[in-house]
């Protein structure tokens, strides 16, 4: 095995073990010495790969976003319509945020300007580029959905459709993030103390109403969301970090 391959494998091992440590302890309580102890590498070896704890955090986020790309490709290959692929993607985002808030925290922290300033420029750029690639892939689904599944836009020219797609994409992700943050904070249970385990219902209702506002005319949205939820789980099981087996291993 060549030296470069050994280095890449060592870096991959450090990242994977750090993700598990971050899940258990969180970023603020984790020290580079803890990572060295867990990986059984010296501090010098750790720092030869990552200049700072923030640099390592960005590397961990990159590994998780690669998983999101695997997940998106699994969804894209499903024999369902573009609007159903969008809903399935949203279902994945929701399920991940509910079951793996520790992993979502890694991604969210990696986007903070204070973290980027202490990470290497190359690593920060690689993470940003990956986010851009995923956004473009999702935008393609939205453009297809506007053409085939949403009503009321027949008179728009191409620039107007593209602008609409950007608005719709921004709104969909904003809704996903907002609903997830609300549920994780406990704010929803304070406002709706009788909701019990109905968080999925609140998500599906708000998301379907949002899509209806953009022209989605579906007689049985609950059925569609339930079907997409099942597909989402099948696609998540094709990943390393977001599958049910991954959660069981971390428990």
Question: Reduced to 3 states, what is the DSSP secondary structure of residue 237?
Answer: coil
71, 34: one domain: no
Span 31-68, pLDDT tens digits: 999 999 999 999 999 999 999 999 999 999 999 999 99
Determine the pLDDT at residue 251.
47
Determine the pLDDT at residue 197.
54
- Residue range 169-181: average pLDDT? 89
Decide if pLDDT at 1 tops 90.
no
- Residue range 152-165: average pLDDT? 96
27, 104: one domain: no
Determine the pLDDT at residue 183.
72
| 198 confidence band (pLDDT: 50, 70, 90) | low
- The least confident of 4-8, 127-131, 193-197 is 193-197
46, 162: one domain: no
Q: Are 218 and 204 in contact (CB under 8 A)?
A: no
Per DSSP, 216 falls in state: B
Q: How many domains does the chain have?
A: 2
Domain boundaries, position 106: 53-249
170, 116: one domain: yes
Question: What is the reported pTM?
Answer: 0.90
Span 102-139, pLDDT tens digits: 999 999 999 999 999 999 999 999 999 999 999 999 99
165, 186: one domain: yes
Q: Are 176 and 93 in contact (CB under 8 A)?
A: yes
User: Could you tell me how many residues make up the chain?
Assistant: 251
User: Residue 132: how many CA atoms within 13 Å on its side-chain side?
Assistant: 6
- The least confident of 118-127, 129-138, 160-169, 242-251 is 242-251
% of the chain beyond a pLDDT of 70 = 91
Q: How many CB atoms lie within 10 A of CB 171?
A: 14
Span 181-192, pLDDT tens digits: 877 776 656 665
57, 46: one domain: no
């Amino acid at each position: 095995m060549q030296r470069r391959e050994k280095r890449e494998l060592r870096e991959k091992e450090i990242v994977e073990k750090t993700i598990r440590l971050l899940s258990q302890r969180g970023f603020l309580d984790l020290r580079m010495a803890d990572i060295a102890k867990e990986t059984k590498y010296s501090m010098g070896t750790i720092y030869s790969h990552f200049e700072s704890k923030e640099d390592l955090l960005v590397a961990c986020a990159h590994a998780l976003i690669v998983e999101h790309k695997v997940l998106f490709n699994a969804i894209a290959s499903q024999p369902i319509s573009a609007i159903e692929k969008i809903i399935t993607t949203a279902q994945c985002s929701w399920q991940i945020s509910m079951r793996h808030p520790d992993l979502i925290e890694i991604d969210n922290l990696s986007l903070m300007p204070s973290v980027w300033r202490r990470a290497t420029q190359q690593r920060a750029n690689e993470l940003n580029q990956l986010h851009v690639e995923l956004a473009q892939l999702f935008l393609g689904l939205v453009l297809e959905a506007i053409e085939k599944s949403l009503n009321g836009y027949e008179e728009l020219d191409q620039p107007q459709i593209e602008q609409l797609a950007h608005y719709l994409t921004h709104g969909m992700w904003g809704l996903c993030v907002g609903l997830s943050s609300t549920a994780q904070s406990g704010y929803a249970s304070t406002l709706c103390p009788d909701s019990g385990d109905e968080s999925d219902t609140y998500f599906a209702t708000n998301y379907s109403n949002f899509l209806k506002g953009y022209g989605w005319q579906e007689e049985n949205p609950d059925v569609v969301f339930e079907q997409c939820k099942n597909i989402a789980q099948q696609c998540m099981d094709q990943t390393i970090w977001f599958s049910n087996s991954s959660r069981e291993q971390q428990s």
